[in-house]
Amino acid sequence: MSMRVTVRGAGIIGLSVAEELLRRGHLVRVVDPAPARGASFAAAGMLSPAAEVWHGEHDVLRLGLASLALWPDLAQRLDVPLVDTGTLLVGVDAGDLQQVRRQADLLARHGVQVEEWSRRQVVEREPSLDRVAGGVWVPGEGSVNPREVCAALLERVRVEPEEPTDWRADVTVIATGSVLPEPHRHLVRGVRGEILRLRTDDPPSRTVRGWVSGEPVYLVPRRPEAAGPAEVVVGATSEEHDGLPVVTAGGVLRLLAAARVVWPALDRAELVETTARDRPGTLDGLPLIGPTERSGEWLAAGHYRHGVLLAPLTARLIAEAMDDPRSAVDAAVDPRRFTSRQPGGIHAPHAQR
């Protein structure tokens, strides 16, 4: 049965949900006064479920791998490039390398295939990373440019600045990132991320996630459109804070300092943009996807570090639950896990890193 759906929020999550619902024949209106200018505008676009995961994040990994598998079809449908050269975890000193190996062990325990590379193997494959002590390659991962993805979605989905007065929706999906309306506001908090965009003739050929004397940093190269400099995105700070997400001098300094140790060619790169946005963090680090306890009100929010990666899965989960009201959404992401008073309802989980 075709539903009338309002999607509030035109970031990569809201747009992906809207596009999937439109494809399935629902009537959809998307409302956002500034489409694709929130967290999606800052995001590097890593499709790195394994390289971004840590202890205790089993569900994040499970959902991320499921969504990664949906990305090739989505990228093809939207006609946007997808870089699929994997993620390279690297360490600069012995302690950093130990951190990389711990993550490799964790991934191996989860059945994720990884390959350990010596320093020599790293430099053979990525000559610009000549100061690292060694690494671990995670094949199958990649990246997209979220700005291109949002632009392609905006060609398919019309966005209006305000809720139309002549429209009554059966369901409203709230996808407003880190600022949710009441009564859901407390479920998501802003975690500031600052990120840099550079142009270079000497980019790495794959996503690099490095540890530099304990400081994490990542580099995400874009495929160059033609001969000439390529964009490399360097990220990202992570800070709990109140107030507007602004770029700080200290944040830029930390990112540049860590990135140039991993990738010395940074010194010659052109710094073209600094951006800060809030990531939408939840209490348990998992998103909120599906119906709430308020009739006709659904959430697709709280994706924290994984909004771009989880966009196609989120769209699918929402669309499947809408198409078949008897189907339950994945319990790990059910927004009612924080509010359910049902016996056996999901209890308030502990906070994660």
86 versus 291: smaller Cβ distance to ligand GLY = 86
The answer to whether the CB of 231 falls within 8 A of the CB of 198 is: yes
Site string for ligand GLY, 20-59 (x = CB under 6 A): ------------------------x-x-----x-------
- For residues 348, 349, 351 and 353, what is the CA-based torsion angle, rounded to 10 degrees? -160
User: Which residue's CB is nearer to ligand GLY, number 32 or number 52?
Assistant: 52
Closest to ligand GLY by CB, 184 vs 305, is 305
**Nearest approach, Cβ of residue 95 and ligand GLY (Å):** 22
Cα–chain-centroid distance for residue 289?
A: 15
Q: Does 140 bind ligand GLY (CB under 6 A)?
A: no
- Note whether 64 binds ligand GLY by CB under 6 A: no
The residue from 26, 29, 279, 316 that contacts ligand GLY (CB under 6 A) is 279
Tell me which residues in 168-197 interact with ligand GLY (CB under 6 A).
193
Nearer CB in complex with ligand GLY: 107/322: 107
* Residue (39 or 153) nearer to ligand GLY, CB: 39
Q: How far is the CB of 162 from ligand GLY (least distance, A)?
A: 30
Binding residue for ligand GLY (CB under 6 A) from 192, 305, 336, 337?
Answer: 305
Nearest to 306 by CA among 323, 330, 329, 282: 282
- The least CB distance from residue 292 to ligand GLY, in Å, is 25
Q: At what angle do helices 307-323 and 146-156 cross, to 10 degrees?
A: 30
5, 169 Cβ separation under 8 angstroms:
yes
Q: Which residues contact 278 (CB under 8 A, 6 or more apart)?
A: 39, 177, 178, 179, 190, 191, 192, 193, 245
Name the minimum Å distance from CB 197 to ligand GLY.
Answer: 14
Q: In angstroms, give the least distance from the CB of 238 to ligand GLY.
A: 7
Q: What is the DSSP letter of 71?
A: H
Burial of residue 84 (number of CB atoms within 10 Å: 0-12, 13-18, 19+): middle
Which region, left, alpha or beta, applies to residue 4 given φ > 0 means left and ψ of -120 to 50 means alpha? beta
Q: Does 287 bind ligand GLY (CB under 6 A)?
A: no
Q: How far apart are the first and last CA of the chain?
A: 42
Strand 171-174 and strand 297-301: the pairing is parallel
Contacts to ligand GLY from residues 75-134, by CB under 6 A: none
Binding site for ligand GLY (CB under 6 A): 44, 46, 52, 193, 235-236, 279, 305
